[in-house]
């Protein structure tokens, strides 16, 4: 036990040297491999150290425990998800559909690349509220960014702040759960869906919800009702 305390005192989760950064990434890559093999609940630091080819002492210089390892792993992925979904190259005000398509494609492509860890996150949130809180904070970060851009965009279908927030929350959940079903559980799908197909599908729904004017939406509903009646 005293040895463990000594090692924890040396924890450094943000190495500043190139070698330190390489070792940190090596540990996180090893943790991904072990997670895929054992899951989170039975994950052991000894298994991560063995997979990374490091001693336990070296491992504890970077991470305190398995919660710390997974915290850093999911934190890095969420940060990359946030930047991958910026919708760069398009303005929500000038070209809303392509801005949404670019943002959703970036998010879904990065989700696909990290589907193994994001699948585990859904499982971990049920046993550790820390990771539920991390997920919630990242979710709100995405939502707040979109709402800020939407308010700044000069569109013909301005929703109230409350309406826009509710829509954004629902649609964000749709994209995340769709990504989980399509990619994190891809073996369950009878017909695989590509990232481009997935991005187009969710972007059309986002666009219809936020950028089709009230008159256009009313006309579409009227036309649909007439077809149903006939």
CATH number of 71-220: 1.10.357.10
State how far the Cα of 8 lies from the Cα of 65, in Å rounded to an integer.
9
* CATH fold match for the domains 2-64 and 71-220: no
- CA distances to 3, 6, 17, 31, 120 from 123, in Å: 32, 32, 34, 16, 5
State how far the Cα of 158 lies from the Cα of 71, in Å rounded to an integer.
38
State how far the Cα of 203 lies from the Cα of 98, in Å rounded to an integer.
9
159's tokens:
């929703």
State how far the Cα of 166 lies from the Cα of 143, in Å rounded to an integer.
10
117's tokens:
């860890």
Question: In the CATH scheme, what is the homologous superfamily, with its name and number, of domain 2-64?
Answer: Homeodomain-like (1.10.10.60)
pLDDT tens column, 153-187: 866 667 889 999 999 999 999 999 999 999 999 99
Q: Structural domain boundaries of the chain?
A: 2-64, 71-220
State how far the Cα of 178 lies from the Cα of 208, in Å rounded to an integer.
18
Percent of the chain clearing pLDDT 70 (strictly above): 83
pLDDT tier, 11 (very low <50, low <70, confident <90, very high otherwise): very low
Q: Which of 127, 144, 109, 110 is CA-nearest to residue 70?
A: 127
pLDDT tens column, 49-108: 999 999 999 999 999 999 999 999 999 999 999 999 997 788 898 899 999 999 999 999
Q: Note the pTM of the prediction, 2 decimals.
A: 0.81
């Amino acid at each position: 036990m005293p040895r463990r305390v000594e090692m924890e005192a040396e924890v450094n989760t943000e190495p500043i040297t190139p070698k330190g950064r390489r070792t940190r990434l090596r540990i996180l890559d090893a943790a991904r491999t072990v997670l895929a093999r054992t899951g989170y609940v039975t994950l052991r630091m000894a298994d991560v150290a063995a997979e990374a080819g490091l001693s336990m002492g070296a491992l504890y210089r970077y991470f305190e425990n398995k919660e710390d390892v997974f915290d850093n792993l999911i934190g890095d992925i969420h940060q990359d998800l946030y930047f991958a979904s910026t919708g760069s190259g398009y303005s929500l005000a000038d070209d809303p559909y392509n801005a949404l398509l670019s943002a959703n494609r970036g998010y879904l492509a990065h989700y696909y690349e990290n589907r193994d860890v994001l699948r585990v996150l859904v499982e971990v949130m049920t046993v550790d509220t820390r990771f539920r809180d991390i997920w919630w904070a990242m979710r709100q970060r995405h939502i707040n960014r979109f709402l800020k851009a939407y308010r700044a965009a000069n569109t013909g279908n301005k929703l109230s702040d409350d309406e826009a927030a509710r829509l954004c929350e629902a649609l964000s959940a749709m994209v995340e759960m769709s990504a989980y079903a399509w990619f994190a559980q891809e073996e369950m799908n009878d017909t695989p869906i590509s990232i481009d197909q997935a991005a187009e599908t969710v972007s059309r729904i986002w666009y219809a919800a936020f950028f089709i004017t009230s008159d256009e939406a009313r006309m579409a509903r009227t036309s649909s009702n007439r077809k149903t009646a006939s």
